[in-house]
């Protein structure tokens, strides 16, 4: 195969707490190259975050030092600016704050499709080198960022973004896949995003589906090409498998009472997130739990991509009751089933029958566990399981459609999921994230582009093209209406009212990578006929 690598730096091992070994290229050879800002700048960073000298703490996390970090820290320790103004002045004198990604207002009359096409160059970045002391991680190839405050590549965002890249952008799609492959080889996994402060966690494992887009007519050919990276990603998620026991998870692996092995979201660190330092401190102070436990659960929710949602709250209402690491989710396990199937298919092409048998058996066991343990007959959806209590949590969310999306669902159960989706999740603007309004962004009334795609293609996979088409039409209508009103493509939408979305830790962002990608892909699935649009299910590229 293309790569020969099996080592990892001691720093990465300590940071991630995993046993897989991968050799990092020179870009990440020393701890100082990958230390997050809160470690690199110590008290200065923590004091600035607590004082909220910038309203969005991510601004601090992304700031670029103007001289050597050690010099800045030494001067800070010597001067000890006490007032908020003095602290702000010290920070501004020693760091550069780069602007967010700006998108231009479209010319009057520009179609939605043409505006999205015009946005791709504005969202494309190349960062082959990182400035000393910066939190940015260098990447070898160009990539697309989400937009707004998100000026780096993000893991699961990128799959949905890539759906909208046309034939003329095939090289960019390949470049993005190669960037993720590089990160797997360098860090042993795909980080949440290309920042040092994201290295202790990943995001939903969509890499195998990105790879499939390189060869949609024969995805197994592409999986064989990237087989070492696919196996390495699987090893990351399964690290600790041999140590896990019922009631005693190990890292991201949970062994249940019947011996089934499934996965949860996790994070290798148990301190406040650099990008949300003050916010995390406030949550921990408001609980009676050990602060490190709270921080780990906040970080695990960030790994899920659903940061934050009632899915992760014990009481279903308050962030202060977050317990993400107690939850075995259907979305993550559905994706890992797909990854195992993809590796098995890639091994067949690579003429490695032992590998193919091994991963196919893993996939079969995971599928059986998903259908036995994560199926909720009362809600008619795949559900989150609390491994501590052994009970399903009765969450009615779009995460329940993931087993359809990846092919892990049983046929009869898929029909029930379709009925529950139509009854509880279908709104005038598309699929709503959950049925509960907590003020968090991954709850009602918001809908998100990735969940529309998961729902549409999952339902198509099991034969319900009518419901899939209805979701697609409602989503495209919502995006089109808001574009006509505002000239913007947004991160999320209120699908109950078909207006811009809201909630969460930061202001609504525009740009926006995954909205652009999914909207183009769904528009391509619809053709105008008579007074309306006819829908044809998109081609599946997964196992």
Active site residues: 307, 491
Who's near 119: CB < 8 A, 6+ residues apart? 103, 147, 489, 511, 516
Residue 154 · residue 125 · CB < 8 Å: no
> Under DSSP, is residue 103 helix (H, G, I), strand (E, B) or coil?
coil
Cα separations in angstroms, 221 against 173, 177, 211, 334? 16, 15, 10, 22
- CA 280/CA 527 separation, integer angstroms: 47
Closest CA to 497 of 518, 515, 477: 477
487 phi/psi in degrees, rounded to 5: 75, 20
* Residues with Cβ within 8 Å of residue 185, at least 6 apart in sequence: 3, 5, 22, 23, 24, 25, 229, 232
10 Å Cβ neighbour count for 379?
Answer: 19
The string of DSSP letters for 183-223 reads HHHHHSS--SBSBGGGTT---S--HHHHHHTTSTT-HHHHH
**Distances in whole angstroms, Cα of residue 419 to Cα of each of 252, 382, 416, 422:** 32, 13, 5, 5
């Amino acid at each position: 195969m293309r790569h020969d690598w099996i080592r990892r730096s001691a720093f990465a091992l300590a940071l991630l707490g995993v046993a897989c070994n991968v050799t990092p290229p020179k870009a990440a050879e020393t701890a100082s190259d990958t230390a997050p800002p809160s470690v690199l700048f110590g008290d200065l960073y923590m004091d600035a975050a607590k004082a909220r000298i910038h309203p969005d703490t991510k601004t601090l996390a992304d700031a670029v030092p103007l001289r050597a970090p050690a010099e800045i820290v030494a001067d800070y320790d010597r001067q000890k600016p006490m007032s908020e103004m003095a602290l702000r002045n010290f920070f501004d004198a020693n760091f550069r704050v780069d602007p967010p990604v700006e998108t231009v207002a479209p010319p009057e009359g520009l179609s939605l499709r043409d505006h999205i096409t015009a946005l791709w160059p504005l969202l494309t970045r190349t960062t082959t080198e990182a400035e000393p002391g910066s939190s940015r991680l260098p990447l070898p190839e160009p990539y697309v960022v989400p937009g707004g405050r998100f000026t780096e590549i993000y893991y699961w965002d990128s799959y949905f973004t890539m759906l909208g890249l046309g034939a003329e952008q095939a090289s960019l799609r390949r470049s993005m896949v190669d960037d993720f492959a590089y990160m797997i080889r360098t860090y042993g996994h795909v980080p949440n995003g290309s920042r040092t402060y994201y290295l202790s966690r990943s995001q939903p494992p969509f890499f195998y589906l990105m790879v499939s887009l390189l060869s949609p007519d024969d995805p197994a050919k592409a999986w064989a090409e990237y087989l070492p990276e696919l196996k390495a990603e699987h090893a990351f998620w399964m690290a600790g498998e041999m140590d896990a026991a019922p009631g005693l998870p190990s890292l991201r692996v949970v062994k249940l009472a019947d011996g089934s092995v499934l996965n949860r979201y996790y994070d290798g660190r148990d301190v406040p997130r650099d990008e949300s330092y003050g916010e995390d401190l406030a949550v921990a102070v408001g609980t009676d739990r050990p602060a490190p436990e709270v921080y780990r659960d906040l970080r695990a929710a960030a790994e899920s991509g659903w940061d934050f949602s009632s899915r992760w709250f014990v009481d279903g209402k308050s962030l202060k009751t977050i317990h993400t690491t107690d939850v075995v989710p259907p979305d993550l396990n559905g994706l890992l089933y797909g990854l195992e199937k993809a590796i098995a298919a890639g091994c067949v092409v690579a003429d490695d029958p032992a590998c193919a048998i091994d991963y196919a058996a893993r996939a079969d066991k995971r599928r059986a566990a998903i259908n036995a343990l994560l199926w909720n007959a009362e809600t008619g959806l795949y559900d989150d399981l609390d491994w501590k209590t052994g009970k399903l949590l009765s969450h009615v969310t779009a995460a329940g459609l993931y087993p359809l999306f990846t092919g892990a669902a049983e046929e009869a159960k898929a029909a029930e999921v379709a009925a529950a989706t139509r009854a509880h999740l279908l709104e005038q603007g598309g699929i709503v994230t959950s049925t509960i309004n907590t003020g968090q962004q991954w709850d009602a009334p918001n809908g998100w582009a990735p969940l529309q795609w998961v729902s549409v293609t999952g339902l198509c996979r099991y034969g319900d093209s009518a419901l899939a088409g209805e979701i697609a039409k409602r989503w495209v209508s919502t995006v089109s209406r808001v574009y006509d009103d505002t000239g913007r493509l947004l991160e999320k939408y209120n699908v109950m009212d078909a207006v811009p979305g809201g909630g969460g830790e930061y202001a609504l962002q525009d740009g926006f990578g995954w909205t652009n990608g999914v909207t183009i892909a769904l528009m391509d699935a619809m053709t105008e006929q008579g007074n309306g649009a006819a829908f044809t299910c998109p081609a599946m590229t997964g196992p």
